[in-house]
Amino acid sequence: MRFWLMKSEPETFAIEDLRRKKVSGWDGVRNYAARNFLREMKLGDQALFYHSSTKAPAIVGVMEVVREAYPDPSQFDRRSEYYDRGSTRDAPRWFQVDVRFVRAFPRPLTLEAIKQAPALREMVLLKRGRLSVQPVRSSEWAYILKSCL
């Protein structure tokens, strides 16, 4: 099983929205590197939910992959902000997975705290900006769950 981190702006879609829906498609990823990671995800993989572009950016919970990558319908929807006129149904460019709410952390791990933790120094989150879907090492996963629960 692999571990991941996925970013969302809470004003658009927050951990509480996922808690309410229970299962949701993770749509709107329009970056090739992030898209490729989505396509590597397997049923049962676990992912951290990260709140970005907010006052205190933080890892706020856990979700589970319940459906592997399939074409993101919003790329075909002319009214969607994610519409991509260059994508066709025969050769879709963008993919999504479905995720299920697992838990919201009682103590979210802020970006500030992540930067302070020696165990998390190598996290992709700190190394590569602007990547909204990214792998997490199992050692990092273990450390994060220990600090947040």
Partner DNA sequence: GCCAACGTTGGC
- Please report, as ranges, the residues that interact with DNA according to CB under 7 A: 7, 9, 30-33, 52-54, 57, 111-112, 115, 128-132
Q: Cβ closer to DNA: 7 or 108?
A: 7
Own/partner contacts of 130-133, CB < 8 Å, gap of 24 or more, are 130/31, 131/31, 131/33, 131/34, 132/6, 132/7, 132/8, 132/29, 132/31, 132/34, 132/52, 133/4, 133/5, 133/6, 133/7, 133/29, 133/34, 133/35, 133/37, 133/38
- Helix (H/G/I), strand (E/B), else coil: 109: strand
Cβ–Cβ contacts within 10 Å for residue 40, how many?
A: 13
Q: Cβ closer to DNA: 53 or 139?
A: 53
Q: Cβ closer to DNA: 13 or 70?
A: 13
Burial of 54 by CB count in 10 Å (0-12 exposed, 13-18 middle, 19+ buried)?
middle
